[in-house]
Amino acid sequence: MNDLMKAVRLHAFGGPEVLIYEDAPKPEIGNGEVLVRVRAVGLNPPDWYLREGYKMLPPEWQPQVSFPVILGTDISGVIEAVADDVLDFSVGDEVYAMVRFPSGLAGDSRAYAEYVSVPATELARKPASIDHHHAAGAPMSLLTAWQFLVDLGHDEPNPLQPRRHEPVPLEGRTVLVNGAAGGVGHFVVQLAKWKGAHVIAVASGEHEALLRDLGVDEFIDYTKTNPEDVARDINLVVDAVGGPTSGRFLKVLKRGGALFPIFPLGFEGTDDARRLGVTVSATQVRSNGAQLEEVGRLLEDGTVRVVIDSRFPLAEARQAHQRAAKGHVQGKIVLTVD
Ligand SMILES: NC(=O)c1ccc[n+]([C@@H]2O[C@H](COP(=O)([O-])OP(=O)(O)OC[C@H]3O[C@@H](n4cnc5c(N)ncnc54)[C@H](OP(=O)(O)O)[C@@H]3O)[C@@H](O)[C@H]2O)c1
Protein backbone atom coordinates (compact mmCIF):
# COMPACT_ATOMS: atom_id res chain seq x y z
CA MET A 1 0.00 0.00 0.00
CA ASN A 2 1.19 3.49 -0.86
CA ASP A 3 2.03 5.23 2.42
CA LEU A 4 2.20 8.74 0.95
CA MET A 5 -0.66 11.14 0.30
CA LYS A 6 -1.08 14.71 -0.88
CA ALA A 7 -1.49 17.32 1.83
CA VAL A 8 -1.12 21.05 2.32
CA ARG A 9 1.69 21.67 4.78
CA LEU A 10 3.63 24.59 6.16
CA HIS A 11 7.28 24.54 7.13
CA ALA A 12 7.26 28.04 8.62
CA PHE A 13 4.64 30.55 9.80
CA GLY A 14 3.58 33.31 7.44
CA GLY A 15 1.04 34.45 4.85
CA PRO A 16 -0.85 32.21 2.40
CA GLU A 17 2.40 31.67 0.46
CA VAL A 18 3.69 29.30 3.19
CA LEU A 19 0.99 26.73 2.27
CA ILE A 20 2.67 24.00 0.19
CA TYR A 21 0.79 21.22 -1.60
CA GLU A 22 3.12 18.22 -1.37
CA ASP A 23 3.58 14.57 -0.41
CA ALA A 24 3.18 13.71 3.27
CA PRO A 25 3.03 10.43 5.18
CA LYS A 26 -0.43 8.87 5.20
CA PRO A 27 -1.65 8.88 8.82
CA GLU A 28 -1.84 5.71 10.89
CA ILE A 29 -4.73 5.11 13.22
CA GLY A 30 -4.53 4.35 16.92
CA ASN A 31 -7.08 2.85 19.29
CA GLY A 32 -10.48 4.48 19.02
CA GLU A 33 -9.70 6.08 15.67
CA VAL A 34 -10.81 5.76 12.07
CA LEU A 35 -9.01 6.69 8.86
CA VAL A 36 -11.11 8.95 6.63
CA ARG A 37 -10.54 9.45 2.91
CA VAL A 38 -11.24 13.18 2.80
CA ARG A 39 -13.61 14.47 0.10
CA ALA A 40 -13.90 18.08 1.29
CA VAL A 41 -12.41 20.37 3.93
CA GLY A 42 -14.11 23.38 5.54
CA LEU A 43 -11.98 26.42 6.38
CA ASN A 44 -12.13 28.28 9.69
CA PRO A 45 -10.31 31.23 11.27
CA PRO A 46 -8.10 28.94 13.45
CA ASP A 47 -6.54 27.73 10.17
CA TRP A 48 -5.04 31.17 9.50
CA TYR A 49 -4.36 31.81 13.18
CA LEU A 50 -2.13 28.69 13.17
CA ARG A 51 -0.64 29.58 9.76
CA GLU A 52 0.44 32.92 11.25
CA GLY A 53 1.76 31.35 14.46
CA TYR A 54 -1.19 32.35 16.70
CA LYS A 55 0.02 35.94 16.87
CA MET A 56 -3.45 36.96 18.08
CA LEU A 57 -3.22 34.81 21.23
CA PRO A 58 -1.53 35.95 24.45
CA PRO A 59 1.98 34.41 24.57
CA GLU A 60 1.05 32.02 27.40
CA TRP A 61 -1.68 30.55 25.18
CA GLN A 62 0.44 30.09 22.06
CA PRO A 63 0.93 26.33 21.54
CA GLN A 64 4.36 24.92 20.71
CA VAL A 65 4.26 23.89 17.07
CA SER A 66 6.63 21.46 15.33
CA PHE A 67 6.94 21.71 11.54
CA PRO A 68 5.85 20.50 9.10
CA VAL A 69 2.24 21.24 10.04
CA ILE A 70 -0.94 20.19 8.21
CA LEU A 71 -3.66 22.78 8.86
CA GLY A 72 -7.39 22.33 9.22
CA THR A 73 -10.05 20.73 11.39
CA ASP A 74 -13.27 20.25 9.40
CA ILE A 75 -13.72 17.32 7.04
CA SER A 76 -16.30 15.25 5.25
CA GLY A 77 -15.33 11.96 3.63
CA VAL A 78 -15.55 8.19 3.53
CA ILE A 79 -14.14 5.77 6.11
CA GLU A 80 -11.19 3.80 4.75
CA ALA A 81 -10.19 1.88 7.91
CA VAL A 82 -11.34 1.50 11.54
CA ALA A 83 -9.40 0.46 14.64
CA ASP A 84 -10.45 -2.90 16.12
CA ASP A 85 -12.07 -1.24 19.13
CA VAL A 86 -14.29 1.07 17.04
CA LEU A 87 -17.72 -0.56 16.86
CA ASP A 88 -20.00 2.29 15.76
CA PHE A 89 -18.49 2.97 12.34
CA SER A 90 -17.52 0.78 9.37
CA VAL A 91 -15.41 1.04 6.24
CA GLY A 92 -17.38 2.88 3.55
CA ASP A 93 -19.46 5.03 5.93
CA GLU A 94 -19.81 8.66 4.84
CA VAL A 95 -18.89 10.84 7.80
CA TYR A 96 -18.07 14.40 8.84
CA ALA A 97 -16.17 15.80 11.81
CA MET A 98 -14.36 18.65 13.48
CA VAL A 99 -11.08 16.88 14.22
CA ARG A 100 -9.29 17.29 17.58
CA PHE A 101 -10.37 20.78 18.53
CA PRO A 102 -9.09 22.40 20.67
CA SER A 103 -6.75 19.52 21.62
CA GLY A 104 -5.06 19.72 18.19
CA LEU A 105 -4.45 23.48 18.26
CA ALA A 106 -0.72 22.94 17.75
CA GLY A 107 -1.36 21.33 14.37
CA ASP A 108 -2.56 17.86 15.36
CA SER A 109 -5.92 18.00 13.55
CA ARG A 110 -4.41 17.69 10.04
CA ALA A 111 -7.45 18.09 7.82
CA TYR A 112 -5.94 19.66 4.64
CA ALA A 113 -5.04 16.22 3.29
CA GLU A 114 -6.28 13.25 1.31
CA TYR A 115 -6.49 11.18 4.51
CA VAL A 116 -6.96 12.07 8.16
CA SER A 117 -7.20 10.01 11.34
CA VAL A 118 -10.21 10.94 13.47
CA PRO A 119 -11.17 9.83 17.00
CA ALA A 120 -14.49 7.98 16.55
CA THR A 121 -16.04 10.07 19.35
CA GLU A 122 -15.66 13.16 17.14
CA LEU A 123 -17.32 11.64 14.05
CA ALA A 124 -20.90 11.61 12.89
CA ARG A 125 -22.64 10.21 9.84
CA LYS A 126 -22.81 12.75 7.04
CA PRO A 127 -26.41 13.87 6.47
CA ALA A 128 -27.41 11.88 3.38
CA SER A 129 -29.25 14.76 1.70
CA ILE A 130 -26.21 17.07 1.50
CA ASP A 131 -22.95 16.52 -0.38
CA HIS A 132 -19.46 16.35 1.14
CA HIS A 133 -18.75 20.01 0.32
CA HIS A 134 -21.72 21.25 2.30
CA ALA A 135 -21.07 18.75 5.12
CA ALA A 136 -17.44 19.89 5.41
CA GLY A 137 -18.66 23.46 5.80
CA ALA A 138 -20.64 22.67 8.90
CA PRO A 139 -18.61 21.23 11.80
CA MET A 140 -16.75 24.06 13.54
CA SER A 141 -19.15 26.87 12.69
CA LEU A 142 -22.30 24.89 13.43
CA LEU A 143 -20.90 23.33 16.63
CA THR A 144 -19.92 26.83 17.76
CA ALA A 145 -23.44 28.11 17.16
CA TRP A 146 -24.92 25.02 18.87
CA GLN A 147 -22.62 25.12 21.92
CA PHE A 148 -23.23 28.86 22.43
CA LEU A 149 -27.00 28.81 21.81
CA VAL A 150 -28.42 25.35 22.48
CA ASP A 151 -26.22 22.93 24.45
CA LEU A 152 -22.64 23.30 25.66
CA GLY A 153 -22.36 19.51 25.62
CA HIS A 154 -19.45 19.02 28.05
CA ASP A 155 -18.12 19.85 31.52
CA GLU A 156 -14.54 20.73 30.59
CA PRO A 157 -13.16 23.90 32.22
CA ASN A 158 -13.86 27.03 30.19
CA PRO A 159 -10.53 28.61 29.16
CA LEU A 160 -12.28 31.95 28.54
CA GLN A 161 -14.05 32.50 31.87
CA PRO A 162 -14.22 30.86 35.29
CA ARG A 163 -17.89 29.89 35.01
CA ARG A 164 -19.64 27.47 32.66
CA HIS A 165 -21.17 29.06 29.58
CA GLU A 166 -24.97 28.71 29.71
CA PRO A 167 -27.25 29.14 26.69
CA VAL A 168 -30.29 31.40 27.28
CA PRO A 169 -33.97 30.92 26.28
CA LEU A 170 -34.64 31.95 22.68
CA GLU A 171 -38.33 31.33 22.08
CA GLY A 172 -40.18 34.62 21.65
CA ARG A 173 -36.99 36.59 22.42
CA THR A 174 -35.28 39.16 20.20
CA VAL A 175 -31.80 38.10 19.12
CA LEU A 176 -29.38 40.38 17.29
CA VAL A 177 -26.61 38.60 15.36
CA ASN A 178 -23.56 40.62 14.33
CA GLY A 179 -21.46 39.13 11.52
CA ALA A 180 -24.63 37.28 10.52
CA ALA A 181 -23.51 36.16 7.06
CA GLY A 182 -20.22 34.54 8.13
CA GLY A 183 -19.55 30.90 8.92
CA VAL A 184 -20.73 31.05 12.53
CA GLY A 185 -23.23 33.87 12.00
CA HIS A 186 -25.34 32.19 9.32
CA PHE A 187 -25.79 29.14 11.57
CA VAL A 188 -26.59 31.28 14.63
CA VAL A 189 -29.31 33.01 12.61
CA GLN A 190 -30.84 29.69 11.55
CA LEU A 191 -30.70 28.07 14.99
CA ALA A 192 -32.24 31.16 16.60
CA LYS A 193 -35.10 31.12 14.05
CA TRP A 194 -35.57 27.37 14.58
CA LYS A 195 -35.87 28.04 18.32
CA GLY A 196 -38.57 30.67 17.74
CA ALA A 197 -36.60 33.90 18.18
CA HIS A 198 -37.18 37.21 16.40
CA VAL A 199 -33.84 37.67 14.62
CA ILE A 200 -32.12 40.91 13.62
CA ALA A 201 -29.13 40.32 11.36
CA VAL A 202 -26.22 42.76 11.10
CA ALA A 203 -23.98 42.43 8.05
CA SER A 204 -22.83 44.40 5.02
CA GLY A 205 -25.60 45.08 2.50
CA GLU A 206 -24.46 42.47 -0.04
CA HIS A 207 -25.68 39.74 2.34
CA GLU A 208 -29.23 41.04 2.86
CA ALA A 209 -30.93 38.79 0.27
CA LEU A 210 -29.28 35.66 1.65
CA LEU A 211 -30.10 36.50 5.25
CA ARG A 212 -33.73 37.31 4.43
CA ASP A 213 -33.85 33.95 2.64
CA LEU A 214 -32.51 32.28 5.80
CA GLY A 215 -35.48 33.78 7.63
CA VAL A 216 -34.20 36.86 9.45
CA ASP A 217 -36.92 39.29 10.50
CA GLU A 218 -34.90 42.50 10.29
CA PHE A 219 -31.65 43.46 8.61
CA ILE A 220 -29.16 46.21 9.49
CA ASP A 221 -26.47 47.13 6.95
CA TYR A 222 -23.65 48.18 9.27
CA THR A 223 -21.93 50.06 6.43
CA LYS A 224 -24.87 52.53 6.48
CA THR A 225 -26.19 52.38 10.06
CA ASN A 226 -24.48 51.62 13.36
CA PRO A 227 -26.56 48.80 14.85
CA GLU A 228 -25.94 50.10 18.38
CA ASP A 229 -27.60 53.40 17.42
CA VAL A 230 -30.88 51.84 16.25
CA ALA A 231 -31.39 48.51 18.06
CA ARG A 232 -33.06 48.56 21.50
CA ASP A 233 -34.59 46.12 24.01
CA ILE A 234 -32.69 43.13 22.69
CA ASN A 235 -32.64 39.93 24.81
CA LEU A 236 -29.50 38.41 23.31
CA VAL A 237 -26.69 39.76 21.14
CA VAL A 238 -24.51 37.15 19.49
CA ASP A 239 -21.46 39.00 18.22
CA ALA A 240 -19.86 36.66 15.69
CA VAL A 241 -17.26 39.36 14.93
CA GLY A 242 -16.32 39.95 18.56
CA GLY A 243 -13.04 41.38 19.82
CA PRO A 244 -12.49 44.65 21.68
CA THR A 245 -15.51 46.39 20.08
CA SER A 246 -18.15 43.93 21.36
CA GLY A 247 -18.92 46.17 24.35
CA ARG A 248 -20.71 48.66 22.06
CA PHE A 249 -23.66 46.22 22.00
CA LEU A 250 -24.24 46.40 25.76
CA LYS A 251 -26.49 49.44 25.43
CA VAL A 252 -28.91 47.71 23.02
CA LEU A 253 -29.68 44.98 25.55
CA LYS A 254 -32.50 44.81 28.05
CA ARG A 255 -31.56 44.53 31.72
CA GLY A 256 -31.29 40.76 32.28
CA GLY A 257 -30.19 40.24 28.68
CA ALA A 258 -27.00 38.55 27.47
CA LEU A 259 -24.09 39.28 25.15
CA PHE A 260 -22.24 36.31 23.65
CA PRO A 261 -19.02 37.44 21.96
CA ILE A 262 -17.95 34.50 19.79
CA PHE A 263 -14.39 35.91 19.75
CA PRO A 264 -14.16 37.26 23.31
CA LEU A 265 -10.43 38.02 23.50
CA GLY A 266 -9.88 41.71 24.18
CA PHE A 267 -13.45 42.28 25.38
CA GLU A 268 -13.72 45.59 27.19
CA GLY A 269 -16.92 46.29 29.06
CA THR A 270 -17.10 43.94 32.01
CA ASP A 271 -17.87 46.82 34.42
CA ASP A 272 -20.48 48.34 32.09
CA ALA A 273 -22.14 44.93 31.73
CA ARG A 274 -22.42 44.60 35.51
CA ARG A 275 -23.88 48.11 35.82
CA LEU A 276 -26.41 47.43 33.04
CA GLY A 277 -27.39 44.02 34.43
CA VAL A 278 -26.23 42.16 31.32
CA THR A 279 -24.55 38.74 31.31
CA VAL A 280 -21.48 38.45 29.08
CA SER A 281 -20.52 34.85 28.33
CA ALA A 282 -18.38 32.90 25.89
CA THR A 283 -16.97 29.45 25.36
CA GLN A 284 -14.47 27.66 23.15
CA VAL A 285 -15.93 25.20 20.68
CA ARG A 286 -15.05 21.52 21.31
CA SER A 287 -15.19 18.48 19.03
CA ASN A 288 -18.32 16.43 19.68
CA GLY A 289 -19.53 13.62 17.42
CA ALA A 290 -22.82 13.16 19.28
CA GLN A 291 -23.72 16.81 18.72
CA LEU A 292 -22.79 16.58 15.04
CA GLU A 293 -25.14 13.59 14.80
CA GLU A 294 -27.88 15.73 16.38
CA VAL A 295 -27.36 18.83 14.22
CA GLY A 296 -27.00 16.48 11.26
CA ARG A 297 -30.74 15.84 11.52
CA LEU A 298 -31.38 19.57 11.01
CA LEU A 299 -29.04 19.56 8.00
CA GLU A 300 -30.72 16.42 6.69
CA ASP A 301 -34.24 17.85 6.71
CA GLY A 302 -33.18 21.31 5.49
CA THR A 303 -33.99 23.16 8.73
CA VAL A 304 -30.38 24.38 8.67
CA ARG A 305 -28.56 25.09 5.41
CA VAL A 306 -24.82 25.33 4.79
CA VAL A 307 -24.08 28.32 2.55
CA ILE A 308 -20.94 27.96 0.43
CA ASP A 309 -18.97 31.15 -0.23
CA SER A 310 -16.45 29.51 -2.57
CA ARG A 311 -14.69 26.23 -3.40
CA PHE A 312 -11.05 25.60 -4.26
CA PRO A 313 -9.16 22.37 -5.00
CA LEU A 314 -6.95 21.20 -2.11
CA ALA A 315 -3.91 22.09 -4.23
CA GLU A 316 -5.13 25.72 -4.24
CA ALA A 317 -5.46 26.13 -0.47
CA ARG A 318 -3.27 29.21 -0.82
CA GLN A 319 -5.91 30.91 -3.00
CA ALA A 320 -8.60 29.85 -0.50
CA HIS A 321 -6.68 31.60 2.29
CA GLN A 322 -6.29 34.67 0.08
CA ARG A 323 -10.08 34.66 -0.41
CA ALA A 324 -10.58 34.50 3.35
CA ALA A 325 -8.17 37.40 3.91
CA LYS A 326 -10.33 39.64 1.69
CA GLY A 327 -13.15 39.34 4.27
CA HIS A 328 -16.91 39.68 3.67
CA VAL A 329 -17.18 35.89 3.64
CA GLN A 330 -20.72 34.63 2.99
CA GLY A 331 -21.05 31.20 4.63
CA LYS A 332 -18.15 28.82 4.20
CA ILE A 333 -15.00 28.48 2.10
CA VAL A 334 -14.42 24.82 1.18
CA LEU A 335 -11.54 22.80 -0.31
CA THR A 336 -12.40 19.92 -2.61
CA VAL A 337 -10.32 16.73 -2.50
CA ASP A 338 -10.92 14.54 -5.54
N1 LIG B 1 -15.38 30.77 20.53
C2 LIG B 1 -15.08 29.85 19.60
O3 LIG B 1 -14.85 28.67 19.91
C4 LIG B 1 -15.09 30.24 18.16
C5 LIG B 1 -15.43 29.27 17.19
C6 LIG B 1 -15.48 29.64 15.86
C7 LIG B 1 -15.15 30.95 15.49
N8 LIG B 1 -14.77 31.84 16.44
C9 LIG B 1 -14.44 33.23 16.08
O10 LIG B 1 -15.62 33.84 15.59
C11 LIG B 1 -15.27 34.80 14.60
C12 LIG B 1 -16.11 34.55 13.34
O13 LIG B 1 -15.73 33.33 12.74
P14 LIG B 1 -16.36 32.91 11.35
O15 LIG B 1 -15.85 31.58 11.02
O16 LIG B 1 -17.83 33.12 11.38
O17 LIG B 1 -15.70 34.03 10.38
P18 LIG B 1 -16.14 34.47 8.93
O19 LIG B 1 -16.79 33.33 8.22
O20 LIG B 1 -14.97 35.14 8.32
O21 LIG B 1 -17.30 35.55 9.16
C22 LIG B 1 -17.07 36.82 9.65
C23 LIG B 1 -18.24 37.69 9.15
O24 LIG B 1 -18.20 38.93 9.82
C25 LIG B 1 -18.61 39.96 8.92
N26 LIG B 1 -18.06 41.20 9.40
C27 LIG B 1 -16.76 41.61 9.35
N28 LIG B 1 -16.65 42.83 9.94
C29 LIG B 1 -17.87 43.15 10.41
C30 LIG B 1 -18.39 44.27 11.14
N31 LIG B 1 -17.61 45.27 11.50
N32 LIG B 1 -19.69 44.25 11.48
C33 LIG B 1 -20.51 43.25 11.12
N34 LIG B 1 -20.07 42.16 10.42
C35 LIG B 1 -18.77 42.14 10.06
C36 LIG B 1 -18.11 39.52 7.56
O37 LIG B 1 -18.92 39.91 6.44
P38 LIG B 1 -19.47 41.38 6.15
O39 LIG B 1 -18.49 42.34 6.73
O40 LIG B 1 -19.54 41.47 4.64
O41 LIG B 1 -20.85 41.44 6.77
C42 LIG B 1 -18.20 37.98 7.66
O43 LIG B 1 -19.39 37.50 7.07
C44 LIG B 1 -13.77 34.68 14.38
O45 LIG B 1 -13.13 35.68 15.13
C46 LIG B 1 -13.44 33.32 14.95
O47 LIG B 1 -12.11 33.23 15.42
C48 LIG B 1 -14.74 31.52 17.76
Compute, in angstroms, the gap from residue 71 CA to the centroid of ligand 1.
19
Same domain, 68 and 177: no
* Cβ-count burial 73-84 (b if 16+ within 10 Å, e if not): bbbbbebbebbe
Tell which of 280, 296, 311 closes a domain: 280
Say whether 295 sits in a helix, a strand or coil: helix
125 falls within a domain: yes
Mean pLDDT by 10 residues, the chain (338 residues): 89 98 98 98 98 90 93 98 98 98 95 98 98 98 98 96 97 98 98 98 98 98 98 98 95 98 94 97 98 98 98 98 98 97
> Could you tell which of 147, 156, 204, 288 is best to mutate to test the pocket of ligand 1, judged by most ligand atoms within 8 Å of the CB?
204
Cα angle 282-287-292, degrees, rounded to a multiple of 5: 100
How far is Cα 140 from Cα 77, in angstroms, rounded to an integer? 16
The pLDDT value given to residue 182: 98
Q: Is the CB of 138 within 6 Å of ligand 1?
A: no
Q: What share of the chain is helix, strand, coil (3-state, %, to 5)?
A: 30, 25, 45
- Structural domain includes residue 152: no
Determine the residue of 142, 189, 263 to mutate for testing ligand 1's pocket, defined as the one with the most ligand atoms within 8 A of the Cβ atom.
263
User: Are both 276 and 289 inside the same structural domain?
Assistant: no
Do 26 and 120 lie in one domain? The reply is yes
Same-domain status, 129 and 192:
no
Query: Of 42, 94, 125, whose CA–CA distance to 332 is shortest?
Result: 42
Same domain, 132 and 231: no
The answer to whether position 159 is within a domain reads no
How far, in Å, CA of 240 to CA of 189, rounded? 11
pLDDT at 12: 97
Q: Classify residue 154: in a domain, yes or no.
A: no
Q: Are residues 217 and 183 in the same domain?
A: yes
Taking the whole predicted model, whether its pTM rises above 0.95 is answered as yes
- CATH number for the domain spanning 217: value is 3.40.50.720
What integer pLDDT is reported at residue 2 of this predicted model?
62
Tell me, yes or no, whether 139 and 182 share the same domain.
no
Cβ pair 84, 2 in contact under 8 A: no
Question: Measured from the CB, is residue 183 less than 6 Å from ligand 1?
Answer: yes
Segments forming the whole domain that contains residue 300: 4-144+285-336
Q: Is residue 153 part of a domain?
A: no
Within a domain: residue 157? no
* CA pseudo-torsion sign 213, 215, 221, 225: positive
Q: Are residues 130 and 14 in the same domain?
A: yes
Q: Is residue 132 part of a domain?
A: yes
pLDDT at 149: 98
The amino acid that residue 52 corresponds to is: E
Tally of domains within the chain: 2
Q: Tell me: do 249 and 297 sit in the same domain.
A: no
Cβ atoms within 10 Å of 150's Cβ, excluding its own: 17
